[in-house]
């Protein structure tokens, strides 16, 4: 893969990982348009490390506070409860990802499948239009599990991880700020785990891309991702998550039309 291909796909990954429009779906479409034949989710995993870095940088203070809280008599209970919620929310994605790994791999080659899933994502986002921000900041384990199931569903390309998890959190009464924070924080173990699981394959099957080109995609993904976290948090503060539904419907429909014409 050329430097241009890596930069474009890194930009797509960073732009779409946190905005609720499905990074995996856009990478499938992007690879199709650029005629890149990297197997399955290999390239996506490489670029995911860039967006993982963006999360860590944006929520660095919160992560440190969470770790320090474990050793603080005052904050220990709250920190342990939050970490427990993150752990529970991660379980469904781990189970489904490992159990259906081959099937999931195959879906990354279908633009039609992505188009259908983007349209579905659009409906999930649109119905948040009538959901006011909740007041609760605590996330019970049963609530974390439901959000985790939404994250597991979003393993499929075209279903937005941030869109699904934030929307479900809002439906369950969590306020906008905490819904976004929990969504991004729960992405850390999932992205890191997926990266480790397929890291060797990603290096071996990186489409012939040089290390310099791969690093360029990683950097672009991280920078773009950080900017998009800032953007989404601002959009959520105005309770406008639903506006992204129109984009999902448009791209999803165009994807279906293109595949039908071909």
Share of the chain above pLDDT 90, in %: 51
Residue 140's CB is within 10 A of a number of other CB atoms, namely: 13
Rounded to the nearest integer, the mean pLDDT of the chain is 86
At residue 225, the pLDDT reads 93
Phi, then psi, of 57 in degrees rounded to 5: -65, -45
- pLDDT, residue 40, reads 47
Question: Which of 51-60, 87-96, 128-137 shows the lowest mean pLDDT across its residues?
Answer: 128-137
* 8 Å CB contact between 155 and 98: no
Dist CA 236 CA 166 (whole Å): 9
Supply the pTM of this predicted model: 0.86
| Amino acid 209: pLDDT | 57
| Lookup: tokens for 59 | 């929520």
For 25, half-sphere exposure in the C-beta direction (CA atoms, 13 angstrom radius) is 34
């Amino acid at each position: 893969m050329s430097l241009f291909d890596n930069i474009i796909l890194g930009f797509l990954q960073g732009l779409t990982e946190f905005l609720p429009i499905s990074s995996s779906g856009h990478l499938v479409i992007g690879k199709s348009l650029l005629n890149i034949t990297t197997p399955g989710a290999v390239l996506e995993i490489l670029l995911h490390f860039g967006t993982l870095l963006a999360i860590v940088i944006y929520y660095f203070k919160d992560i440190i506070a969470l770790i320090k809280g474990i050793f603080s008599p005052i904050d220990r209970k709250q920190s342990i409860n939050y970490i427990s919620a993150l752990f529970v929310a991660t379980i469904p994605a781990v189970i489904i990802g490992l159990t259906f790994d081959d099937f999931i791999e195959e879906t990354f080659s279908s633009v039609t499948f992505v188009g259908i899933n983007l349209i579905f994502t659009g409906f999930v986002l649109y119905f948040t239009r009538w959901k006011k921000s909740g007041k609760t900041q605590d996330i019970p384990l049963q609530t974390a599990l439901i959000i985790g199931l939404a994250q597991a569903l979003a393993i499929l390309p075209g279903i937005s991880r941030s869109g699904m998890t934030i929307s479900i959190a809002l439906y369950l009464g969590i306020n906008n700020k905490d819904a976004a924070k929990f969504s991004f924080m729960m992405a850390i173990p999932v992205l890191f785990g997926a990266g480790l699981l397929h890291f060797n394959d990603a290096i071996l099957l990186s489409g012939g891309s040089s290390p310099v080109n791969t690093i360029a995609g990683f950097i672009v993904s991280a920078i773009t991702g950080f900017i998009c976290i800032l953007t989404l948090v601002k959009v959520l503060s105005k309770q406008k998550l639903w506006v992204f539904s129109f984009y999902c419907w448009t791209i999803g429909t165009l994807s279906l039309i293109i595949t039908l014409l071909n």
